[in-house]
């Protein structure tokens, strides 16, 4: 066992060394956050975090609707969404975002959905209609207060410190700044619904986690 790495099944009871053939084509596709207000969340994930780089618009009228939704911004700036799915019967919408280059994505709406679901590591923002204007709605549990459950998602940046300077200027709420307490060089921020997002870069992550390697 001495020659085995810490990541091997020998050190991790329950870990299967050989995947089942039925799962060999599987991959992590998305995680879902329930959001209160899509106008606020879409602005945060596109403008603040820079996710996605093209908004798919079925019609000009939809483009106009989005311009209104996003604070009357010019149509040329609407370039941020992988895919939007609306479910009127169940009264919710899903917005898929990520860091994919979608310049060559299919123009057909159905094909676009399949393309989006084929991308790795995306986030689905799910909006149950009406929560944005419901005074009785108290928000969602972010998993980081009791009872604790879900923790956070993480994004890689070129430079954690420079990224955090920008985030601070944009008024983003921090849970932990890069030089706070332990694990220096790693930051945690909150999105508009209070979900935690870890921010780190490849230059410092190795030294920051060296003691746990």
Catalytic residues: 198
CA nearest to 62, candidates 41, 90, 83, 92: 83
Q: In whole angstroms, how far apart are CA 6 and each of 15, 97, 154, 203?
A: 12, 34, 22, 22
Could you give the CA distance from residue 50 to residue 57 in angstroms, rounded to a whole number? 19
Q: Is 124 annotated as a binding residue?
A: yes
Could you count the other beta carbons within 10 Å of the beta carbon of residue 146? 6
| C-alpha span between 112 and 200 (Å, rounded) | 31
**Residues placed in the known binding site for Zn(2+):** 124, 152, 198
């Amino acid at each position: 066992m001495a020659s085995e790495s810490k990541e091997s099944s020998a050190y991790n009871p329950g870990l299967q060394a050989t995947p089942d053939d039925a799962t060999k084509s599987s991959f992590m596709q998305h995680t879902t956050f329930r959001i209160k207000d899509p106008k606020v969340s879409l602005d945060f994930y596109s403008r603040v975090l820079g996710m996605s780089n093209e908004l798919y618009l079925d019609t000009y009228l939809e483009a106009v609707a989005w311009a209104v939704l996003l604070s009357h911004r010019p149509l040329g700036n609407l370039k941020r969404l992988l895919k939007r799915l609306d479910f009127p019967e169940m009264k919710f919408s899903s917005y898929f975002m990520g860091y994919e280059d979608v310049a060559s994505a299919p123009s057909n709406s159905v094909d676009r959905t399949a393309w989006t679901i084929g991308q790795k590591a995306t986030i689905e923002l799910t909006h149950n209609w009406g929560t944005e204007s419901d005074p009785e709605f108290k928000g969602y549990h972010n998993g980081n207060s009791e009872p604790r459950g879900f923790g956070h998602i993480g994004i890689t940046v070129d430079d954690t410190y420079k990224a955090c300077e920008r985030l601070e200027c944009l008024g983003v709420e921090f849970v932990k700044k890069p030089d706070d307490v332990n694990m220096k060089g790693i930051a945690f921020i909150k999105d508009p619904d209070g979900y935690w997002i870890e921010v780190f870069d490849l230059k410092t992550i190795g030294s920051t986690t060296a003691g746990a390697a």
